Chains A and B, each alone.
Chain A
Amino acid sequence: METILFYILSALIVVFSIASVSSRKILRAVTYLLFVLIAISGIYFLVDYSFLGAVQLTVYGGGVIVLIIFSVLLVHHIELELEVTPIKRKIIAGLISVVGLGITLWAIYTFPFTNATNYKSIEVADIGRKLLGYGDGGFILPFEVISVLLLAVMVGAIVIAKGKKLNE
Chain B
Amino acid sequence: MNLESFLLMRYEIGLLAVILLLIVFEIFLNKKHKGSLIDIAIVLFTIHTIIGFLPLADGSIFGGMFKTNALLHFFKSTLNVGVLILLLQSADWLKEKVVQQNKSTEFFILLFSSLLGMYYMISSGDFLMFYIGLELATLPVAALVAYETFKQDSAEAGVKFILSSALASGTALLGVSFLYATTGTIYFDAMAEVLTMSNLSILGFIFFFSGLAFKISLVPFHFWTADVYEGAPISIASFLSVISKGAAVIILMIILFTVMKPLMPVWIKVIYMVSIATMFLGNIFALRQKNMKRFLAYSSIAQAGFILLGFLSNDQLGYTTIIYFVAIYIFSNLGAFGVVQAISLATGKENMDDYEGLYRTNPKLSLVMMLALFSLAGIPPLAGFFGKFFLYTAAASQGYYLLVFIAVVNATISLYYYLLVIRAMFLRKNENAIPFFKSQPYMRLGLLLASIGILVIGMYSPIYEYIYSISNSFLN
Contact = CB atoms under 8 A, between A and B. Distances in A.
A117 interface: no
Interface in A122-164: 133-142, 145-146, 148-149, 151-153, 155-160, 163-164
A95 B97 CA distance: 46
B143 A159 contact: yes
B136 interface: yes
B202 to A, nearest CB: 7
A164 B203 contact: no
A107 B158 CA distance: 35
* Majority secondary structure of chain B interface residues (helix, strand, loop or mixed): helix
Q: Chain A: interface secondary structure?
A: helix
A139 B136 contact: no
A107 B202 contact: yes
B200 A152 contact: no
Contacts of B120: 145
B128 A156 contact: no
A136 B181 contact: no
A148 to B, nearest CB: 6
Contacts, number: 109
A137 B238 CA distance: 37
Contacts of A139: 65, 128
Contact of B63 (A138, A146, A157, A160): A138
A2 B120 CA distance: 41
B63 A152 contact: no
Nearest to B120: A145
B110 A134 contact: no
A121 interface: no
Contacts of B146: 160
A119 interface: no
Interface in B100-152: 100-101, 103, 106, 109-110, 113-114, 116-117, 120, 128-129, 132-133, 135-136, 139-140, 142-144, 146-147, 149-150
Contacts of B133: 145
B198 interface: yes
A104 B63 contact: no
B295 interface: no
B178 interface: yes
Contacts of B143: 152-153, 155-157, 159-160
Nearest to B171: A100
A88 interface: no
Contact of B150 (A141, A145, A153, A167): A167
A163 B101 contact: yes
A145 B136 contact: yes
Contacts of A149: 113, 117, 132, 135-136, 139
A152 B101 contact: no
A166 B233 CA distance: 14
B1 interface: yes
B110 A107 contact: no
A38 B387 CA distance: 53
Interface stretch (A22-30, A60-68, A78-86, A108-116): A108-116
A18 interface: no
A156 B132 CA distance: 17
Interface in B146-194: 146-147, 149-150, 158, 178, 181-182
Interface string B342-381: 0000000000000000000000000000000000000000
14 contacts: A104-B203, A106-B199, A107-B178, A110-B199, A111-B182, A137-B63, A139-B128, A151-B113, A152-B114, A153-B140, A156-B106, A156-B139, A159-B106, A167-B150
Q: Lowest 5 A-B CB distances belong to which pairs? A: A163-B149, A156-B143, A152-B113, A136-B63, A111-B200
